[in-house]
Amino acid sequence: MDVIPAIDLLGGRCVRLYQGDYEQSQTFSEDPVAMAQQWQDQGASRLHLVDLDGAKEGRPENSTVIEAITRRLSIPVQLGGGLRDRETVARVLDCGVERAILGTAAVEQPQLVQQLCQEFPGQIAVGIDARDGSVATRGWLETSEVKATDLAQQMADYGVAAIIYTDIHRDGTLRGPNREALRELAEAISVPVIASGGMSSVSDVLGLLSLESLGVTGAIIGRALYTGDISLQEAVRAVGEGRWQDVPPDLGSSALA
């Protein structure tokens, strides 16, 4: 399982939102490129980038920073936020992004995702950001009537490389991931699922190992890395060693299910 640090870009800065609320943002670094390098140095095998300005405006707004990060790093970078047409996706892939993540477009233009999967095999992922089981779009500012599981099944049929699943009510809250929703999603599709939202401790990350056999192949960590609740080095080491004995008793079998 990959332990994937997240960098959310807003106005060229590294920030975190609380439950997707742009009015509740906290800046953690004025230098996202240096932050990206730090996560690579600490053992990240992949970096997750979100262009928050892009998600809101419908087009990438932090391209200069994104390109600087891809030039600096040797690990794969995946990017979401404002990728809603073929030209934009082709441009970000050309500048060094290894995997483009589409969200709003998957709901509003599913045929575009199908086309892109055929043109860029293995490089298209879909981000499903759910609020009470329904998919949110346009930087989480709108909630559709599309159910997360239904969209995931459609996108899996199109051949996406992965589904990045975020429970908006958990994102930025340090309340732990929604394992029940992750299990339901992973059981419904045959492509890898990457968990995002709510990671608060190394135990939360280790708890996802019980879902790995179902296809949950990665955990994206954001706020907890910046607050120090999770050490990236420790999380990478713990997952690599499969240190189940280090999971506290309060994360018993029911919690890990």
The pLDDT of residue 145: 78
Dihedral Cα 238, 243, 246, 250, nearest 10 deg: 110
SS (H, E, C) 172-203: CCCCCCCHHHHHHHHHHCCCCEEEECCCCCHH
Is residue 8 flagged as an active site residue?
A: yes
Beta bridge partners of 147: 134
Catalytic member of 51, 53, 129, 171: 129
Q: 28 near 14, Cβ under 8 Å?
A: yes
Give the C-alpha separation, 238 to 244, whole Å.
9
Beta strands 21-29; 216-221: pairing state? unpaired
The pLDDT of residue 10: 94
pLDDT in tens, 43-56: 999 999 999 999 88
Is residue 150 flagged as an active site residue?
A: no
pLDDT in tens, 94-137: 999 999 999 888 989 999 999 999 999 999 999 998 887 778 87
Domain boundaries of the chain, sorted by first residue: 2-256
Q: SS3 helix, strand, coil % of the chain, rounded to 5?
A: 40, 30, 30
Instruction: Say yes or no to pLDDT of 246 above 60.
Output: no
pLDDT band at 175 (very low <50, low <70, confident <90, very high): confident
Going by CATH, does the domain composed of 2-256 fall within 3.20.20.70?
A: yes
